Amino acid sequence: MIPGNRDTRDGILFSLPFMIVFALFMVYPLVFGFYISFFKWNILGTPSFLGIQNYVDIMHDEKFWSSLWHTVQFVLMTTPVLIVMGFLMALLATSHSPLKGVMETVFFIPYILSMTVAATLWAWIMQKDFGIINQVIRLMGGEGVSWLTSEKNAMWSISIATYWWTAGFNMVLYTAGIKQISKEVFESATVDGANALQRIIHITIPLVKPTTILCLILQVIASFNVFGQVYVMTGGGPAGSTRVLIQYIYETGFSYFRMGYSAAMSYILFVIIMAISVIQYITLGRRDS
């Protein structure tokens, strides 16, 4: 131990700047949000106590359930595809192809864009009357598709934009996972006559399982929290058919100023995400340990 050095004191001092910000902007809002979820409050006035009335009302709120269902739809539409895409991209980026560097960059670039940029881009690409996709379709003699204005297509269109935008992140995780597998395993399999597909199925996939679990948990959480793409691309439409839960929380809180109700819904979403993550972690992680 260096003379004059006190680990506890210095430790506290060095972490203090972070702890203050953390307490002020994370812990305090978290606690306050839970507290206010038992009140009726419009930000400007004095909160009035409701007990668990907000939570009871939510159970009977059709819009809450439909928004939750739209969120679940989005999770189901995006999670598997994004995991598979990320994995395939990582295979290409770790392959022996001379283009692997270029591919890695190309796959990752969309993820650098901010949500607003990516979503606005796709909203224009998919615009019904002047969007480039429909222009191309019309040039080839087809009829334009209502990508964002029809209930059938809207959620898929948002999902497609999301694939393009975020798959690169999963690729980075998988690339790291694949690079950790020692070369000897692949070499001995090759010597034993295993072809590329067999190596992927019997070596790569089982050995990147921890990465898959991580990706799955992160992806489900991210997809449950979807809001920006929807808000920018469809505004929750047509007729509220893509309104996701975070959007409903945002609307009740910041458009209608029913903060208590909005906070209560946030806590329900929090519990749902937490439960799903714990279940995933236990069921998927168990066989490893």
Partner 1 sequence: MKRKLMAIIALIAVGTLLFASAPQEASTGEGPVELKFWSLFTGGDGAFFDAMIEEFNASQDEIHMTNDMVKFDDYYTKLTTALAAGNAPDVIVLHQARLINYVPSGVLLPLDEYVSDEMLSDFQTAPLEACRMDGKLYAIPFDVHPIVMYTNTSLLEEAGIDKIPETAEEFTAAAKAVKEATGQWGSLIDNTTGTYKAYTLTRLFVSLVNQQGGSMLTEDMSAAAFNNEYGYNALVWLQSLVNEEAVNPNELDYDAAMNMFKLGEGAFYFNGVWATGTLEQTEGLEFAASPLPAFMGESAAWTDSHTFAIPVQKNQDPAKVEAAIKFIDWMTGNAHLWAKAGNIPTRNSVLEGEEFNALPYRADYAAAVSSVVANPPTAAWGEIYETLSDLLEAAVTKNLDPQTSLDGMEATVNEIISRY
Residues within the interface to partner 1 (CB under 8 A): 6, 9, 12-13, 16-17, 20, 24, 42-45, 57, 62, 128-130, 146, 148-151, 234-240, 251, 254-258, 261
Decide: 281 and 215 in contact? Cβ < 8 Å.
Answer: no
- Smallest gap from residue 258 Cβ to partner 1 (A): 7
C-beta neighbour count of 215 within 10 angstroms: 22
Task: Classify residue 222 as exposed, middle or buried by CB count within 10 Å of its CB (0-12, 13-18, 19+).
Answer: middle
Task: Classify residue 108 as exposed, middle or buried by CB count within 10 Å of its CB (0-12, 13-18, 19+).
Answer: middle
- Smallest gap from residue 256 Cβ to partner 1 (A): 4
- Smallest gap from residue 250 Cβ to partner 1 (A): 9
CA–CA distance, 86 with 107 (Å, rounded to integer): 9
Cα–Cα distance list, 170 to 175, 238, 250 (Å): 8, 30, 28
> Of the two residues 204 and 262, which places its CB atom closer to partner 1 in the complex?
262
- Smallest gap from residue 222 Cβ to partner 1 (A): 24
> Of the two residues 11 and 210, which places its CB atom closer to partner 1 in the complex?
11
| Residue 236, beta-bridge partner list | none
- Smallest gap from residue 149 Cβ to partner 1 (A): 4
- Smallest gap from residue 145 Cβ to partner 1 (A): 11
> Of the two residues 197 and 239, which places its CB atom closer to partner 1 in the complex?
239
Identify the CA nearest to 255 among candidates 40, 30, 43, 25.
Answer: 43
C-beta neighbour count of 257 within 10 angstroms: 14
Query: Cα dihedral angle (162, 165, 167, 171), rounded to 10 degrees?
Result: -170
> Of the two residues 8 and 289, which places its CB atom closer to partner 1 in the complex?
8
